[in-house]
């Protein structure tokens, strides 16, 4: 930028993915983060302990001012936000739609960081989608937010190669680090008028969904390779699970560690010795498992107490 004046910026974020990006801006002398906007504290765990978002904890550590509006439609809060005299705002994994009137408050509007190569994988689960589909690469997009989901023009993109073995948390951490390196320079150039915005090719847009607990249920008709990808994509939640009917009862079990056995061919869901389960193509060997309501254990430990699972069908 030609001016020595710091860029007045509001940072919006909630999830851990946003924390490295907040730090990268906070530690850059070009920026004055005048507000960190995050979701309200929420009860977590069996004890329902009121827990702050990861971004709030990081902001307090960095000495930044935190705002946690209960509603973005609160006129009093919206008026106070409008008085911040912002140059720009940045949204990273905030987790809630932001009204257009709020997006338009900063002089240079509001930017968003999205963990995919838009227009591919718009929506809430792009990291899981990239793993599930076996993509060779994904990436980071920095874009201008508009009224539609992940629809606005692009400022910058960075390709990130995938190994084909990463879990969702591992890929998320890599992407966050890449985004944190990109973000300060991208924002500074944009505010200085040095960025040419590029419209997305909306005809190529694909969309991801909100992942539910039910998505973790294993459909053994899928190939072993497909299920192994889901196993990596759905860590730590919802994880994979399946059910075994025995003795007139249903036991829900979670495969925690698996490996692909390509030479298995039998009815999908059939259980073999050593806890290998047939899939639509190939099979999966269960190395560690957690029966519902019990601690995790090795396959050998499980079989010592449940030899009758061999030859049965799980679903």
> Are 301 and 152 in a shared domain?
no
Query: 314 lies in a domain?
Result: no
For residue 205, how many C-alpha atoms fall within 13 Å in the half-sphere facing its CB? 14
d(CA 21, CA 177): 8
Per-position pLDDT tens, the chain of length 315: 445 799 999 999 999 999 999 999 999 999 999 999 999 999 888 888 999 999 999 999 999 999 999 999 999 999 999 999 999 999 999 999 999 999 999 999 999 999 999 999 999 999 999 999 999 999 999 999 998 999 999 999 999 999 999 999 999 999 999 999 999 999 999 999 999 999 999 999 999 999 999 999 999 999 999 999 999 999 999 999 999 998 788 999 999 999 999 999 999 999 999 999 999 999 999 999 999 999 999 999 999 999 999 999 999
CB 37 within 8 A of CB 10: yes
50 annotated to bind ligand = no
118 annotated to bind ligand = yes
CATH number at residue 284: 3.10.25.10
Helices (H), the chain: 19-26, 54-61, 75-82, 100-103, 126-132, 168-191, 224-233, 299-305
Q: How many CB atoms lie within 10 A of CB 308?
A: 12
d(CA 134, CA 84): 44
pLDDT for 8 equals: 98
Please state the domain count of the chain: 2
Q: How many CB atoms lie within 10 A of CB 29?
A: 7
> Are 116 and 17 in a shared domain?
yes
Query: 79 lies in a domain?
Result: yes
The residue out of 173, 204, 235 marking a domain boundary is: 204
The residue out of 163, 179, 204 marking a domain boundary is: 204
For 287, the domain range is 213-309
236 annotated to bind ligand = no
> Are 220 and 149 in a shared domain?
no
**204: Cα separation from own chain's centroid:** 22
Query: 1 lies in a domain?
Result: no
CB 171 within 8 A of CB 236: no
The residue out of 184, 204, 224 marking a domain boundary is: 204
Q: For residue 30, give both structure tokens.
A: 């070009």
Strands of the chain, DSSP E: 7-13, 31-37, 42-44, 49-51, 66-67, 88-92, 110-114, 137-144, 154-161, 242-246, 249-261, 271-272, 276-278, 283-291, 297-298
User: pTM to 2 decimals?
Assistant: 0.95
116 annotated to bind ligand = yes
Q: For residue 206, give both structure tokens.
A: 């694909």
């Amino acid at each position: 930028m030609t001016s020595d004046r710091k860029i007045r910026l509001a940072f919006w974020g909630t999830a851990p993915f946003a924390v490295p990006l907040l730090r990268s801006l906070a530690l850059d002398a070009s920026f004055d983060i005048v507000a960190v906007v995050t979701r309200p504290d929420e009860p977590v765990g069996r004890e329902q302990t009121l827990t702050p978002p990861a971004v709030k904890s990081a902001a307090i550590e960095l000495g930044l001012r935190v705002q946690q509006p209960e509603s973005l439609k609160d006129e009093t809060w919206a008026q106070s936000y409008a008085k911040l005299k912002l140059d720009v705002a940045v949204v990273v994994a905030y987790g809630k739609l932001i009204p257009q009137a709020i997006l338009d408050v900063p002089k240079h509007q509001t930017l968003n960081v999205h963990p995919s190569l838009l227009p591919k994988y718009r929506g809430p689960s792009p990291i899981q989608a990239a793993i599930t589909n076996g993509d060779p690469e994904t990436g980071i997009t920095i874009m201008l937010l508009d009224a539609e989901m992940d629809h606005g023009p692009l400022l910058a993109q960075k390709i990130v190669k995938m190994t084909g073995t990463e879990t969702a948390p591992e890929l998320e951490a890599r992407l966050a680090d890449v985004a944190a390196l990109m973000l300060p320079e991208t924002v500074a150039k944009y505010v200085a008028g040095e960025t040419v915005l590029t419209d997305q090719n909306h005809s190529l847009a694909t969309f991801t969904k909100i992942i539910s607990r039910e998505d973790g249920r294993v459909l053994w008709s899928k190939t072993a390779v497909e299920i192994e990808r889901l196993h990596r994509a759905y860590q730590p939640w919802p994880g994979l699970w399946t059910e075994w009917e025995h003795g007139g009862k249903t036991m829900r079990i979670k495969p925690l560690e698996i490996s692909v056995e390509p030479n298995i061919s039998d009815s999908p869901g059939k259980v073999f010795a050593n806890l290998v389960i047939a899939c639509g193509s190939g099979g999966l060997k269960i190395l560690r498992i957690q029966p519902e309501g019990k601690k995790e254990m090795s396959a050998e430990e499980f079989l010592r107490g449940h030899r009758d699972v061999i030859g049965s069908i799980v679903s």
